[in-house]
Amino acid sequence: MAPRPALLPAPPLASSRYNRQLLLPQVRVRGQEHLLNSKVLIIGLGGLGSPASLYLAGAGVGTLGLMDGDSVELGNLHRQIVHTEAAARKGLLKVRSAAARCKELNSEIRYVLHEERASADNILGIIAQYDLVLDCTDNPATRYLISDACVVLGKALVSGAAQRGEGMLVVLDSPPFPRPAAAGEGGHDKGPCYRCVFPRPPPPEMVRGCSEIGILGPVVGVIGTLMAGEAIKIIVAGCHVAVSSTPTSSNDSHMSSPTSSQPDQKPSQKQPHHTMLLYNTYAADPRGMFRTVTMRGRKKDCLACGDDDALARKGLSRITADVISQGRLDYQAFCGVFEDVKVLGEERRIGAKEFLETQTNPEHNLLGEEFESLREKGIVIDVREEHEYELGAKVAGSLNIPLSRILRLGGSAFDELGLLRRDGDKGQISAESHTQTTDAGDEADGFDRGPEQSGPANEELNVTLQPNGVTHQERTQTRQSRPPPVYFVCPRGNDSQIAAQKFLERLEADGAASQPWGWIGDVKGGYVALEKHSQPQDPASGL
């Protein structure tokens, strides 16, 4: 009989690429085995999904699923660090770009690509293939859809969000099943879902993307990295899989608690605290950059994860796989669709093409006669925020009065520009407009406002007719007799209506509506429409 060796070799994993994380008592060999056998899905390969995918690939997740239907653009790269300039130039799909980069980091794991956006048609079939899901999407409707699917399929969900300089992270549906009680220990209830935390979606007008309000790259980096960390903690603890109803053995007791500090530690008798992590990189007090909010836990009457008896008492039906896959729950309708503001009547709105004609007509560009040009082109008030005005395209000679200032101050926000003329005043434009002010001799053909005239739109000519039959174009081109029109403009033609209405309300309150004023209104479609109509057309297209 051969003698037993005196020195037993170390486990193969101990000398693997994962050695540094194996040294953590919370991970060890068994935790790494959980990672290598796990299947994780990341939905959304943008700012959040980029760092999450890299760190999960590096950690050795056995199968990493990547789901996104968008392509890489140059404007993504300041925050979506998994993508490259080469991918942007080629317009690669984000899932392919991310997979290529992750393979360069770890080629030993399996990658599955889902080149499509999450929808009711595909979400159940895709999530069913995985143990854990990371929601890195950027709109409420998709978040509710993903959460409902995870509840139906019994999958834990890590959800994150970020805008401007702030971010949020929450672990949902964890554990995805009630944890049975071990001998002498208390069990754990299911974790709350997205509907428990946010029973009602935010108003659609409050949902604005990063392309509108901005995002600091490191903010999504922080949240995405923390999402990967939470996913690793759940997997290492074994809380990403269902647990048998029989009491667990002492060797497997670590699978009963996501908060265990060691894989072999016994589960706590206390229910786990369900918390939300908030991050603000611009916090006034640096000690408040990270805040943790304790949530109330699962709602017994939640439509997705609630108890059957509680739902029955309220006459409610549970969200099931059939409800989702058959499209019986309209997530877009539930979250609401942002509709264009309808504040002004059509007689106070001008199309983008017609507006551009009033600004670009050569006879309006009178060299050395700046005030003449102002009277012909009109006064253009841009209501974007200062930083948006600074960065975006703008109408030459326009004045910037942010909508936030108008809403805060009301009509008085226009006072400093001298646009509200009272008896005895001379029409003046603030020096901020870089336009010369008038003197006494200019008053007759400068800012004396004629009576406000409005009337029905002539649908055949597609121009606005005033009661005297004069079109808007004729009004703005009448020289030495007509006051200048006042145009309000914003990104999409919504905020501009609100601002114009505030201006009109101020005129009415001051009794200035009876004073001679030019046409007052906004530009339909805002800068989105203006940029579309200002692009040169191909003569061959016939447009």
The whole-angstrom separation of Cα 218 and Cα 229 is 16
In this prediction, residue 482 carries a pLDDT of: 63
Q: What digits encode the pLDDT tens for the residues 400-433?
A: 999 988 988 887 888 766 654 444 443 333 333 3
Structure tokens at 506: 């101020």
Q: Say which CATH number the domain at 522 has.
A: 3.40.250.10
pLDDT at 250 over 50: no
CA distance 383 to 128: 48
Q: Is residue 417 part of a domain?
A: yes
Looking at the structure, do residues 320 and 360 belong to the same domain, yes or no?
A: no
- What pLDDT digit, counting tens, does each position of 62-82 carry? 999 999 999 999 999 999 999
Q: Confirm whether 2 is domain-assigned.
A: no
Please indicate, yes or no, if residue 5 is contained in any of the structural domains.
Answer: no
Q: Are 442 and 483 members of one domain? A: yes
Same structural domain for residues 143 and 279? yes
Tell me which of 305, 335, 365 is where a domain ends. 335
CATH code of 151's domain: 3.40.50.720
User: What are 474-498's pLDDT values in tens digits?
Assistant: 544 544 456 778 999 998 888 899 9
Bridge partners of residue 93, in order along the sequence:
71
Q: What is the pLDDT of residue 410?
A: 81
Q: Residue 4 falls within a domain, yes or no?
A: no
Within this chain, do residues 244 and 353 fall inside the same structural domain, yes or no? no
- Axis crossing angle, helix 370-377 with helix 352-360, rounded to the nearest 10: 160
Judgement on whether residues 139 and 279 belong to the same structural domain of the protein: yes
Q: What is the DSSP letter of 362?
A: G
pTM comes to 0.67
Query: What whole-number distance in Å separates Cα of residue 116 and Cα of residue 93?
Result: 10
Q: How many CB atoms lie within 10 A of CB 467?
A: 9
Inform me whether the pLDDT recorded for 271 exceeds 80.
Answer: no
Last residue of a domain, one of 335, 356, 391: 335
Residue 121 and residue 221 share a domain: yes
Structurally, the chain folds into a number of domains equal to 2
Is 490 in the active site?
Answer: yes
3, part of any domain: no
Residue 369 structural domain: 346-541
* 341 is a domain residue: no
CA pair distance 157, 49, nearest whole angstrom: 14
Over the stretch 227-240, which tens digit does the pLDDT of each residue have?
999 999 999 988 76
pLDDT one-digit tens code per residue, 2-54 = 777 788 777 888 778 998 998 899 999 999 999 999 999 999 999 999 999 99
* Catalytic residue (one of 210, 239, 302, 305): 210
Q: How confident is the model at residue 184 (pLDDT cuts 50, 70, 90)?
A: very low
Alpha-helix residue ranges (DSSP H) falling in 74-182: 85-90, 94-105, 123-127, 140-153
Is 214 a member of any domain?
Answer: yes
Domain boundary among 291, 311, 335: 335
The percent helix, strand, coil of the chain (3-state, each to 5) is 40, 15, 45
- pLDDT (0 to 100) of residue 3: 78
Q: Which of 102, 136, 335, 490 is an active site residue?
A: 490
CA–CA distance, 170 with 520 (Å, rounded to integer): 48
- Residues 374 and 280 grouped into a single domain: no
Q: Structure tokens of 254?
A: 């670590």
> Strand, coil or helix: what is 318?
coil
If asked whether residues 299 and 372 sit together in one domain, one would say no
Same domain, 286 and 202: yes
- Let me know whether 165 and 306 are in one domain: yes
Cβ neighbour number for residue 389 with a 10 Å cutoff:
17
Same domain, 158 and 51: yes
Considering only 28-42, 371-385, 458-472, which range has the smallest mean pLDDT?
458-472
Sign of CA pseudo-dihedral 144, 150, 152, 154: negative
pLDDT digits (tens, 9 = 90+) for 321-367: 999 998 888 887 787 655 566 788 889 999 988 898 888 764 443 33
485 plus 456 within the same structural domain:
yes
- Look up residue 339 and give its two tokens: 């509709």
Of 42, 50, 44, the closest CA to residue 220 belongs to 50
Instruction: State the chain's mean pLDDT as an integer.
Output: 77
